[in-house]
A = this chain, B = another copy of it.
């Protein structure tokens, strides 16, 4: 593992992440990516520690990724899913978290449909003076830091497999396309990409891209640009990040038909001709094939990084659990 001076105790938001922190995550994840290429893909780093996945909003994909990351660090895992839980009995979320604390949890991985829940739990843990760490695995429309970090790692690893690092993103153009308004992934991506010096071009229908998103780029090395059409965002882009479209949005009259949406903002191989020749496409998954992205493009290894993102996810989550967990007694 890289020699590091990591001091961050919780991972809640990327808004104030420093380039030194991004570089530490990238280097640590690269070390674990190497571990994952061995025959025995486990290390004893977190043996005897407990990682509790507290998922108040269901997600098999992200939960499995965190669970596998924890198991490969030899931690014990506990899974909490609301619905079968005492949440239905009226207990507060903070009480649930304190119960898992009292059982001996070292790291809480928290997903909740309301923004701010992981922060509130982290504050309460700090107030109590306990050593448990909180990792935000997606809170409402606020942030999804581990997803944005795996996106960053996927891109940097492509640019330099031997030494993924922040400076590789300098002056790159990254288009983020789709339902920006409701996307916690997009918000975390904007923080990380602009901090690393990439310019972020957001493209979406006006109903899904309010003007206030321009503020995200203020005083940061990379800038944020807003487009209510797809083409200027794709023009000379190095990377295109598509976002999942919640089909419920249509019923809220924020969108025309899915077919019309795909025609205007769906990414296809022909639309990619506007981009740089080596352009790559990312998507946080799960994908609505033929809506955000054409089915053939999704499966085309020349363009799609979607599978690489999932693989990076385990290495990056191992890195995050390691960085916030390895100092535990």
Q: A40, B50: Cβ atoms under 8 Å?
A: no
Q: A64, B314: Cβ atoms under 8 Å?
A: no
Does chain B have a CB within 8 A of A71? yes
- Distance (Å) between the CB of A92 and the closest chain B CB? 7
Out of B65, B100, B286, name the residue touching A64 (CB < 8 Å): B100
Of A4-12, A78-86, A191-199, the stretch lying at the interface with chain B is: A78-86
Would you list which residues of chain A between 300 and 324 have a CB under 8 Å from chain B?
A: 307-311, 313-314
Q: A60-B85, A67-B78, A286-B89 given as contacts; is B47 within 8 A of A311 (CB)?
A: no
In whole angstroms, what is the CA distance A295 to B78 when docked? 27
Chain B residue at minimal CB-CB distance from A309: B102
Does chain B have a CB within 8 A of A41? yes
Does chain B have a CB within 8 A of A257? no
Q: A310, B40: Cβ atoms under 8 Å?
A: no
In whole angstroms, what is the CA distance A314 to B61 when docked? 27
* Chain B residues whose C-beta falls within 8 Å of the C-beta of A259 in the assembled complex: none
Does chain B have a CB within 8 A of A249? no
Copy count, this protein chain: 3
Out of B81, B92, B287, name the residue touching A91 (CB < 8 Å): B287
A85-100 vs B: 1/0 string, CB under 8 Å?
1100111100110111
In whole angstroms, what is the CA distance A59 to B87 when docked? 10
* Chain B residues whose C-beta falls within 8 Å of the C-beta of A50 in the assembled complex: 41, 68
Chain B residue at minimal CB-CB distance from A100: B64
A25-41 vs B: 1/0 string, CB under 8 Å?
00000000000101111
Q: A60-B80, A85-B60 given as contacts; is B247 within 8 A of A102 (CB)?
A: no
In whole angstroms, what is the CA distance A64 to B99 when docked? 10
**Can you spell out 22 A-B residue pairs with CB atoms less than 8 angstroms apart?**
A36-B104, A41-B48, A41-B49, A41-B50, A42-B76, A50-B68, A60-B80, A61-B85, A64-B78, A64-B100, A67-B78, A68-B76, A71-B76, A72-B76, A86-B285, A90-B288, A91-B286, A99-B286, A102-B309, A102-B310, A102-B311, A104-B314
Identify the A interface with B (CB < 8 A): 36, 38-42, 47-50, 52, 58-61, 64-65, 67-68, 71-72, 76, 78, 80-81, 83-86, 89-92, 95-96, 98-104, 244, 247, 285-289, 307-311, 313-314, 328-329
